[in-house]
Amino acid sequence: MSQFSDKSVLITGASGGLGQQLAEDFAREGARVTVNYSSSAEAAHATVARFVEVGGQAMACHADIASADDVTAMVEKVMATYGGVDILINNAGLSIDAPFLELSEIDWDQVMGVNLKGPFLLSQAVGRHMVAAGWGRIINISATSAIKARVGNANYAASKAGLNMLTQSMALELGPHVTVNAVGLGFVDSPLVRKLFSAEQIKQAQDNVPAKRMTTYAETSAFVMMLASDTASFVTGQTIPFDGGRVMR
C-alpha cells in the first residue's frame, strides 16, 4: 500500500502542465485528488475522467484562488467530499512579462493574486484543518527567479520571492505536525517554456547549469511527492532549488 493511499490531495492549477502530472501521479498512488482549475474546465474534467475510469478517486473543482469566496467554497467542498485536506500543493502560477517601466498595475495585481495571494488564502483555509487534525503537508511551487532575477520579470520574481518568505512564516506557525516547503523550479521542458523562450535562449540556459539540461514534469513531480512523503517529515521551512544548479551560477 502506498503511503498516499486515501490521502486527500488538493492541487491548484491542475488541469495541465506540472499540476496535471502531479494529479496523475498522486492518483496512481491511491490518493483522493482534487483537480483545481480556473479556466480550463474541459481539460480538468477530462483529467478526472481518466482517473475515475481506472478506479481512482478524483474530482474537478473550479476556483479563482485569488478570490477568498472561491477558496472558501472549494475547501468546503473538499472537506465535505473527502473529509479533509492532507496535502496541499500550491502549483498554480501566472507569468506576464514586461519591461519594468512598462509593467501595468493590472499585470502586477494579476500575477501577485495568483502567485502569492492565492497560496496565502488556500494555505490559511487548509492550514486550520491540518493543525486541528495534527498532520499536513503544504508544498509551494516557487522559482529560481525569486533569487536570480531576469529582465522583464519583476512581478513574477517578486511574487515568488514573497512565496518563499510565506513558506518560512507558515512553517514557523503551523508546526510541529504540519510541514511547509517550497520547490524553486528552474527551466522545465514544457510547451510554455518553448513558447516563451527561443531555441537559442533555451540552449544558453542549459549550457549555463551543471546539469546541462532542463528538467521534466515527471521528474519534478517525483521530487514534490518526496517532500509530501514521510521521508521528508523533518524538512520544513525550506525553499529547495530544483534547477540543475542554476542558482550557483
Residues designated catalytic: 156
Beta strands across the sheet bearing 87-90: 57-62, 32-37, 8-11, 87-90, 136-143, 178-185, 239-242
Asked if 216 and 208 count as a contact pair (C-beta separation under 8 A), the reply is: no
Q: What would the DSSP string read from start to end of 38-67? A: SS-HHHHHHHHHHHHHTT-EEEEEE--TT-
Give first-to-last CA distance, the chain, whole Å: 42
Asked if 22 and 45 count as a contact pair (C-beta separation under 8 A), the reply is: no
The CA distance from 226 to 49, in Å, is 26
Residue 104's DSSP bridge partners are none
β-pairing, 178-185 vs 239-242, is: parallel
Helical (H) or strand (E) element with 108 = helix 105-112
The CA distance from 94 to 99, in Å, is 16
The CA distance from 25 to 51, in Å, is 10
Helical (H) or strand (E) element with 226 = helix 217-228
